[in-house]
């Protein structure tokens, strides 16, 4: 859902063009139309995704997938009037729950392969940037920092984690300090990554809801 759209119906993750994608989730509902069936599929990573399956006369004799059913969807990502959906080539009901675990492992493996080069570059080609204020923590930024939109929220989380770890102040680092050090990012993106880090237990708020510190200290 956060993959940048590089052209009409073309999306990318880490400069890798998305072609065919697979999704495993629960059908939350469906709506029949004259030429297609639209499903609401929830894979637990965000809001339910709209999945469209075009139908011909022979397909109308098939029974639609009822809500509460686990399915695997194979299709391509589309953007119509600002709403993203998956144009399904195949929708299959999952009968063996081991498929869900297998899909999770595939997602983790794909994530590791996609971001391996990004994180490697972050470690090897990092540049030390002098702090704007001597009493504030020094920030380490990478050469990929100038293209945050191409790397998604995980890149933001990784950079924010480094910033928070480097802070030695008792009250932690303030939201405004984070914004000044990451001035190429929007406040919305910074807040989103902070929410993720708090929910995962990596950081916590200190004197108020605008100051944060790493839980690893």
- Residue 57 has φ and ψ, to the nearest 5°, of -60, -35
Q: What is the pLDDT of residue 61?
A: 53
The Cα-based distances of 47 to 41, 169, 189 in angstroms read 9, 37, 18
- Calpha distance 137→98 (Å, rounded): 46
With 0-12 / 13-18 / 19 or more C-beta atoms within 10 angstroms meaning exposed / middle / buried, residue 134 is exposed
| Architecture of the structural domain at 5-102 | Beta Barrel (2.40)
Q: Per-residue pLDDT for the chain (217 aa), expressed as one digit of tens each?
A: 888 888 877 888 777 788 788 999 999 999 988 888 999 999 988 889 999 998 876 655 566 789 999 999 999 999 888 888 999 988 999 999 899 989 988 888 887 777 666 556 555 544 444 444 445 444 333 333 333 343 455 566 666 777 777 777 888 888 888 888 887 778 888 888 888 788 777 788 888 888 888 876 5
Cite the residue boundaries of each domain of the chain with CATH code 2.40.50.140. 5-102
Give the list of residues 6+ apart from residue 200 with CB closer than 8 angstroms, or none: none
The Cα-based distances of 196 to 2, 53, 139 in angstroms read 15, 33, 20
Query: Which residues are registered as beta bridge partners of 87?
Result: 52, 76
Cite the residue boundaries of each domain of the chain with CATH code 1.10.10.10. 125-214
Q: What is the pLDDT of residue 137?
A: 42
For the 125-214 domain, the top CATH level (class) is mainly alpha
Q: What is the pLDDT of residue 87?
A: 93
pLDDT 10s digits, 66-95: 999 999 999 999 988 888 899 998 899 999
Q: What is the pLDDT of residue 127?
A: 44
- Is the pTM higher than 0.85? no
């Amino acid at each position: 859902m956060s993959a940048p759209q590089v052209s009409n119906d073309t999306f990318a993750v880490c400069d890798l063009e998305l072609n065919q994608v697979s999704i495993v989730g629960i059908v939350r509902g469906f709506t029949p139309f004259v030429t297609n069936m639209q499903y609401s599929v929830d894979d637990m990573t965000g809001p339910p995704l709209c999945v469209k399956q075009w139908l011909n006369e022979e397909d109308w004799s098939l029974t639609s997938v009822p809500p509460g059913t686990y399915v695997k969807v194979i299709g391509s990502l589309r953007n119509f009037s600002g709403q993203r959906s998956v144009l399904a080539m195949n929708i299959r009901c999952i009968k063996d729950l081991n498929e869900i675990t297998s899909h999770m492992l595939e997602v983790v493996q794909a994530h590791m392969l996609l971001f391996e080069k990004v994180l490697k570059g972050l470690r090897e080609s990092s540049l030390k940037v002098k702090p704007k204020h001597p009493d504030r923590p020094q920030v380490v930024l990478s050469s990929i920092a100038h293209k945050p939109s191409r790397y998604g929220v995980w890149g933001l989380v990784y950079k924010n984690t480094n910033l928070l770890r480097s802070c030695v102040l008792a009250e932690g680092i303030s939201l405004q300090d984070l914004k000044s050090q990451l001035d190429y990012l929007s406040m919305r993106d910074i807040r989103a990554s902070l929410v993720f880090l708090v929910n995962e237990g990596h950081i916590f708020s200190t004197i108020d809801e605008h100051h944060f510190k790493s839980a690893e200290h």
